[in-house]
A and B are shown apart, each in its own frame.
Chain A
Amino acid sequence: MKKTSLLLLIISVLFFQCSKDSGSSSEATAVGGETGAGGSMARFAIVGNYLYTVDHQKLRVYEITNAAEPVLKNTVNIGIEIETIYPFKDKLFIGSTTAVHILSISDPVKPEKLSTAISPQVMRRCDPVVAKDNVAYATLRTNGFCGGVQSILAVYDITDVTKPISKNSINVTEPYGLGYSGNVLYVCDKFQGLMLYNITQPYQPTFIKSLRDGSYIDVICYQNTMICWVADGVLLYDITNNTNPALLAKID
């Protein structure tokens, strides 16, 4: 697979952060200036005291040191058909229908474009990614206008985020969001439910079992709770034992 397509996998349009040990989010409280956690199909992202938003062409930077009063600090032209934005370490990944733009936010008010990856034919807009340390997991979905032949769970070495290396590829049915807690990877699949993989050996995920309590779309792990966006609402699980999530409640 070409380098650009690998890069695209890592930084494609849907980025689901789901980490038990992701710093401030796991210690968030109801007070103070802290942010929480969300899947990032979003058109905005909060990093520290800055809110980043994207419209079809522009990235805007708002300072939210005073959270009640967002102040526009900068507007940067990015490209065309921008759809999503998400932060990863000190970078912003901005996804469009045809390319992904990588910007450095070492200086938060002056995002600086580092590179642009052009989408090859096989890459579409349906590729959620989650990164853990130096490993990235992506689901490549092939139904409808996503194109492609076989849906897969793909594994990459992203020690150098600009040069991802393909490590593994596992056939799945119709995957959506994914996330992880500790050494367990959770993959939403329309037909196979929420699939659990052991990722103790990060490049060799081994299937544990599936949960089938709904039609799973996205998953966020937050402290010892797993929050699943399902087609008709939200499911809450206790993941104190991360290989055996216990259904706590359904919100509909």
Chain B
Amino acid sequence: MRKLLSLLSIPLLLYSCTPESADYNGTVEGYAPVYVSSATASTISVEPARAITKAGKIYVHGTYLFENDVNKGIHIIDVSDRARPRKVAFINVPLSTEVAVKGNYLYTNNLDDLLTFDISNPTAPVLVKRIDDVFPMPNQNYPPFTGVSFECADPSKGVVVQWEPKRIKNAKCRR
């Protein structure tokens, strides 16, 4: 996360930002950055079970199922009675996208950091370790495609966690 914050303070890398030829509505197909404020990006907490908002990667271990809620955290689900799965907790981990388990420990990412949780009590996971800069984050300045228009990134809005397809008006950036 430290590296991430320092990156944010670096001026934007110079990628050609040239006006795009727009259609008669003044909009083009392109990409827009999705932000999360850097202040909340590393705040971890254990919360009561909740509904899935954006279903992500899954991992099964013993009688428990773990589902990543994309960019939000990990649902811990007791499936010992398969017909009546029961969510027992939600680990709030902003910007998480990965999950794996070995023994009583769960690994996930908090954007670019690797976190280890003790889940010996699955209803009350405990963060036991954070290792910086294990995972890559999306490029902060441009989407992972070429020949596309995009909304120019604004570091003051926070961390870019994703580039989503969008019709954009008056696109100023292109690569």
Contacts and interface: CB of A to CB of B under 8 A. Distances in A.
A33 B102 CA distance: 6
B60 A248 contact: no
A96 to B, nearest CB: 12
Interface string B115-141: 010100000000011010111100000
A230 B60 CA distance: 15
A38 B59 contact: yes
Given A28-B62, A55-B135, A70-B114, A44 B100 contact: yes
Contact of A248 (B57, B61, B83): B83
Contacts of A41: 57
Contact of A236 (B79, B131, B145): B79
Contacts, number: 141
Nearest to B148: A145
Query: Chain B: interface secondary structure?
Result: strand
Interface stretch (B13-21, B36-44, B63-71, B149-157): B63-71
Interface residues of A, number: 50
A68 B116 contact: yes
Given A38-B60, A67-B103, A70-B114, A249 B55 contact: no
Among B82, B103, B104, max chain A CB count under 10 A is at: B103
A68 B118 contact: yes
B98 A36 contact: no
Query: Chain A: interface secondary structure?
Result: strand
A252 interface: yes
B107 A51 contact: yes
Contact of A222 (B60, B98, B99): B60
Contacts of B65: 227, 234, 251
Nearest to A48: B102
A220 B58 contact: yes
Interface in A67-91: 67-70, 72, 82
A45 B116 CA distance: 14
A251 B90 CA distance: 14
B169 to A, nearest CB: 23
Contacts of A82: 136
B102 A34 contact: yes
Contacts of B52: 232-234, 251-252
B136 A36 contact: no
B84 interface: yes
Interface residues of B, number: 46
A109 interface: no
Interface string A179-212: 0000000000000000000000000000000000
Interface in A203-252: 217-218, 220, 222, 225, 227, 229-234, 236, 238, 248-249, 251-252
23 contacts: A30-B61, A30-B62, A36-B62, A37-B61, A39-B57, A42-B98, A42-B100, A43-B109, A51-B107, A60-B134, A67-B104, A67-B105, A68-B118, A69-B116, A69-B128, A70-B107, A220-B60, A229-B56, A234-B85, A249-B82, A249-B85, A251-B75, A252-B52
Given A31-B103, A33-B102, A229-B56, 11 more contacts: A33-B103, A35-B101, A36-B59, A37-B59, A56-B136, A68-B116, A70-B107, A218-B58, A222-B60, A234-B58, A236-B83
Interface of B: 51-52, 55-65, 67, 75, 77, 79, 82-85, 87, 97-105, 107, 109, 112, 114, 116, 118, 128-129, 131, 133-136, 144-145
Interface of A: 28-39, 41-46, 51, 53, 55-56, 60, 64, 67-70, 72, 82, 97, 145, 217-218, 220, 222, 225, 227, 229-234, 236, 238, 248-249, 251-252
